[in-house]
Amino acid sequence: MSPKHYWLAVFSIISIVFCGFLLLIRPGQAQIELDRYDQVSCIIDETAELPTFTFLTASSLDVDKIINSLCHHPAIQASYSKVKVLWPPRESLSAEPLLNGEYQVVWSREQNFAGVLPNYKNYFKTLIKVDGYKVYWYSHQPNLELTQAFLQDKKIGVLDSKVSHSHYILPLSSLKQANINLATEQIVHYPDGLSLYAAFRHGEVDMISSGAWLESSLQRPVHKLLIDDNAVAFSLFISLDTPKLAQCAMLEAMKPVYSVFERDLIHLNLPDDVKELCY
Amino acid sequence: MLLTNKITKHLILFTVLTLAFFTFGYFYAQYQVASSIQHQLSEKLNQKVGSEILQGLNSKDEESARLFRQINGDLQTVYFSNNLFLSPVTAFITNQTRDGINPNKIIYVDLPKIKTQLKFYLEYQIIGLNLLIASSVIAGLAVIAIFMLPVPVNQQTKTLRDKFLAFKLTQQQAINCAKQYQTLNAMQQQVFDFLAENQINILSIADLLSWCADKKEIKTWHAHHFAWFCCALKKNPDDLNRAFAIACSENSIEFDAQSQALKIHGLTIQLAKTPFLYYLWYAKHKLDSDGWILNPATNQPSQPLANSLIDLMETYNGHAKAVNDLKSFGLKAKTIDQNRNKIKQELTAYLGDELAESYLFESRRDSKTQRYWYRLNCPENMIKIQELTI
C-alpha cells in the first residue's frame, strides 16, 4: 500500500466513523406541542369526573382575572373539574357546539346569536345585557370633523371582523352617511380590538371608532366625535343547565369587565331572576 | 520496538480523535438542539399568528404576558427523539436580561406578520459522560480499523523492500528492514551494503542492520576507514567487531622488535626477519634524521651503510648470514633493492596498493650521482618502535 492510498484509507475511515458519530449523537426532532393560544384554562380537579366549564368570549380582555375568579369560586369547584375561556374569531360561531352543550357561557350580540341558533332561548338565557352605550370617533388631531377635507390625508383603523358593531359597522356607515369616500389604503384592518387600540396609540392610524372605554387606556388627550349614542347591545348568554350558584359565580367573575362599563356610564342590565338569585 | 512505536502512535491518534469527536459533538448537539427548536417553534408559532396570536408582542402588556406564560408552559419540557446525550430541555421567554449566556442557548423566532421577534433561552445540559463514552467508542473503532491497515510503503521503501526480499525475508521483515535501512547514514549504508553483498554469514540480515545502526562511529567514517574495514574483514571474515576496531584504529605503523611483527593501522603483518630489519632501519632513520638513505652505487657497495645495518641486525638478532655478507661485501645496491622490494610485495599483497602506499617508500634522484634516495613515506609521528625487553 502506497502512502497515498494509506492516507486516503485513513481519511475515509475517519470520515465514515465521524458521520456515524454525528448520526449517533444527533438529538433528532424536538417534540414540541403548542396548546391553543386563543384560550386559557385552569384545572380544578383532574381526577373528578365532572364536566368542563367553558366560556366563549369575544376577546382576551381580562381573561386572566375572569378565569382566576371562576376557578377559585366554590360553586364552580363543586360542579366542574376544569374551566376554559376561549375567544376564537367571532365569525367562527356555529350552531353545532351550542347544541352539543360545549359552551356554558357565550358573549355575543343578541341578533348574531339568534342568527346562529334561532331557538337559542331553549338552551340559553341572558345573564348580563349591555345596553345603549355611546360610540365615538377618536382622533389625536384637533378640529375633528367628518368632512372629506379633514379625512383627505387620514388613515382609519377598523376591525377585520365584519360583525363588529363598534369597530366596523358603525364607523363605516357613519362615513357613508357623511358621503365621504376614502381610498382603500386609507382603511386599515386589524384582527382584534387590542391591536386596533395599539395601532391608534402608536399613531399607525389617525382615527378609530370606539366606546368610551378607550379613553382610560390613552396617555395623551384625545378628540372625539359622537357616532351613535345607542349602539346595539351585547349580552352574556348562559346555558340553562348551569347550576344556579355557578351562574352567580360567572356574574362575579365578569366584574372586572363590567366595572369598566359602569365607569363609562354604560348601562348594565341584569334580568330579574338573576338579580333575585345572586343579590 | 517497531510494534511499540506503532501502538504508541495509535494511542495518540485515539486520544486526539476522542477529544476532537467530543468537542465537535458537544457543539454539534447544542447547535442541533437550538436549530431544531428554532425551526419547529418558528413554524408552529407562525401558524398561530392571525388566529391565536393577534398583535405584536412586546412583553409589557397583559396580553403578551399571558401569551408568554402560555408558550413557556408548553416549552417547559421539550423532549428529543434521541435524548441519550441531553437532559430534558426547557425553553422560555423572559424579559429579564441575562448576561453570560452561551449564544448556542439563545434562539430567535421571527413572526414577520406581526413584526415581532421572540427571544428564547434554552436550559439543558449535555450529558458529558455519555458523550465522552460515545466519542471514545467511535474513536476506538476508527483507530482499530486504521491499525488493521497494511503499513504504508513509499517508493523508496518499496525498492529497498524488494532488495531485502532477495534475502529470503518475509514481506513484513523486508519492510521493517527497509525502514531501518533508511535511518542509517550514507556511510552506515555503504558498510551494510558491503557486508550484505559479500554474503557475510555470521549475522542475519536484520542483525547486520542493527549492528550497523548500533556502531555510531561509522557515521563519521571517511573512505579510508571503510577501506581498512574491508581489508580487515577480508583477512578475517568472521570477526566484524575486530574489523570495526581496525577501521577505527589510528593511522600508525608499529614495529615490535620482540616478535619482529609489524602492526599497521592495528593490523598485524608478519614479515621475514631480514626485510623486517631493513624496514626498521629505514624507520629509525626517519625518526633520527630526515630519513633519506642514498642507494649505494651498483659497482661499489657502501661500507658505512653496511656498518649501520650490522649494528641494527646484531642488536635485533638478525640472520648471521646476512650480517656476514654485510661484513664481507658491504651493502650492495642489489641487496638493499631486493629487501625494499620484498617489503613492498608483502605489504601490497596484504593491504592492497592503496592502503600500502602511505607505508612504503618515496624516492628522489641524486642529481650528482644519478642514484636514488629512499625514505619511508609516512610522517615520523606515525612511527612507533617497541624495543626489545631484556
- Read off the pLDDT of each residue in B312-331 and give the average, rounded to a whole number: 87
- Read off the pLDDT of each residue in B84-97 and give the average, rounded to a whole number: 84
Q: What is the pLDDT of residue A20?
A: 92
pLDDT at A222 over 60: yes
How many other CB atoms sit within 10 Å of the CB of residue A25? 25
CA distance A197 to chain B (A): 10
Interface of A with B in 194-253 (CB under 8 A): 194-195, 198
CB of B292 within 8 A of CB of B281?
Answer: no
Nearest to B225 by CA among B208, B211, B245, B241: B245
Full 3-state SS string of A92-149: HCCHHHHHCCCCCEEEEEHHHHHHHCCCHHHCEEEEEEEECCCEEEEECCCCCCCCHH
pLDDT band at A191 (very low <50, low <70, confident <90, very high): confident
Q: What is the pLDDT of residue B219?
A: 86
Buried b (16+ CB within 10 A) or exposed e, A252-279: ebbeebbebbeeeebebebeeebeeebe
Strand partners, B78: B89
DSSP letters, B102-122, are -GGGEEEEEEGGGTEEEEEEE
A2/B139 CB distance under 8 A = no
pLDDT at A265 over 60: no
Q: Could you tell me the three cell numbers for A275?
A: 338579580
Nearest to B81 among A21, A28, A38 (CB): A28
Q: Could you tell me the three cell numbers for B366?
A: 641524486
pLDDT at B46 over 70: yes
Q: Is B25 an 8 Å CB contact of chain A?
A: yes
Nearest CA in chain A to B33: A27
Lowest mean pLDDT, pick from A227-236, B144-153, B312-321: A227-236
Q: What is the mean pLDDT of chain B?
A: 86
> Taking the model in full, what pTM does it have?
0.63
DSSP letters, B125-173, are -B-HHHHHHHHHHHHHHHHHHHHHSPPP--HHHHHHHHHHHTTT--HHH
Q: How far is the C-alpha of B314 from the C-alpha of A88, rounded, in Å? A: 141
CA distance A277 to chain B (A): 33
pLDDT at B1 over 60: no
- The ipTM estimated for the assembled molecules is 0.78
CB of B296 within 8 A of CB of B330?
Answer: yes
B37/A30 CB distance under 8 A = yes
For residue range B260-281, list pLDDT tens digits in order: 888 888 888 888 888 999 999 9
Strand partners, A184: none
Domains and CATH numbers, chain A: 39-131+233-278 (3.40.190.10), 135-228 (3.40.190.10)
B32/A27 CB distance under 8 A = yes
For residue range A130-166, list pLDDT tens digits in order: 777 788 899 988 888 888 888 888 999 998 877 788 8
Q: What is the pLDDT of residue B36?
A: 92
- For chain B, the distance separating the N- and C-terminal CA atoms, rounded to the nearest angstrom, is 56
pLDDT at B95 over 80: no
Burial category of B132 from C-beta neighbours within 10 Å (exposed 0-12, middle 13-18, buried 19 and up): middle
Q: Which amino acid is at B240?
A: L
Q: Is B84 an 8 Å CB contact of chain A?
A: yes
Give B178's contacts in chain A (Cβ within 8 Å).
none
Residues contacting residue B27 through CB under 8 Å, at least 6 positions apart: B104
pLDDT at B169 over 90: no
Helix B223-235 with B240-248: angle, nearest 10 deg:
140
Q: What is the pLDDT of residue B333?
A: 87
Q: What is the pLDDT of residue B166?
A: 81
Q: What is the pLDDT of residue A267?
A: 63
pLDDT band at A230 (very low <50, low <70, confident <90, very high): confident
pLDDT band at A4 (very low <50, low <70, confident <90, very high): confident
For residue range A23-45, list pLDDT tens digits in order: 999 988 888 888 888 889 999 98
Nearest CA in chain A to B42: A32
Q: What is the mean pLDDT of chain A?
A: 86
CB of A225 within 8 A of CB of A136?
Answer: yes
Q: What is the pLDDT of residue B149?
A: 85
pLDDT at B108 over 80: yes
Nearest to B70 among A7, A30, A35 (CB): A35
- Read off the pLDDT of each residue in A176-196 and give the average, rounded to a whole number: 86
Q: Is B151 an 8 Å CB contact of chain A?
A: yes
Q: How far is the C-alpha of B23 from the C-alpha of B126, rounded, in Å? A: 12
Q: What is the pLDDT of residue B287?
A: 87
For residue range B205-226, list pLDDT tens digits in order: 888 888 888 888 888 888 888 8
CB of A53 within 8 A of CB of A82?
Answer: yes
Strand partners, A86: A39, A56
Higher pLDDT: B194 or A194? It is B194
Q: What is the pLDDT of residue A262?
A: 62
pLDDT band at B15 (very low <50, low <70, confident <90, very high): very high
Q: What is the pLDDT of residue B115?
A: 81
- Read off the pLDDT of each residue in B237-263 and give the average, rounded to a whole number: 86
pLDDT at B200 over 90: no
pLDDT at B311 over 80: yes
Q: What is the pLDDT of residue A239?
A: 93
Coil/strand/helix, residue B224: helix
pLDDT band at B58 (very low <50, low <70, confident <90, very high): low
How big is the A-B interface in CB pairs under 8 Å? 137
CA distance A157 to chain B (A): 14
CA distance A16 to chain B (A): 9
Interface of B with A in 30-69 (CB under 8 A): 32-33, 36-37, 40-41, 44-45, 48, 50-56, 61-63, 66-67
Q: How far is the C-alpha of A202 from the C-alpha of A14, rounded, in Å? A: 59
Strand partners, A188: A157
Q: Is A27 an 8 Å CB contact of chain B?
A: yes
Higher pLDDT: A166 or B27? It is B27
For residue range A198-214, list pLDDT tens digits in order: 889 888 899 999 887 77
H/E run at residue B305 = helix B303-315
Nearest CA in chain A to B83: A27
Q: What is the pLDDT of residue B326?
A: 86
Higher pLDDT: B37 or B160? It is B37
Q: What is the pLDDT of residue A261?
A: 67
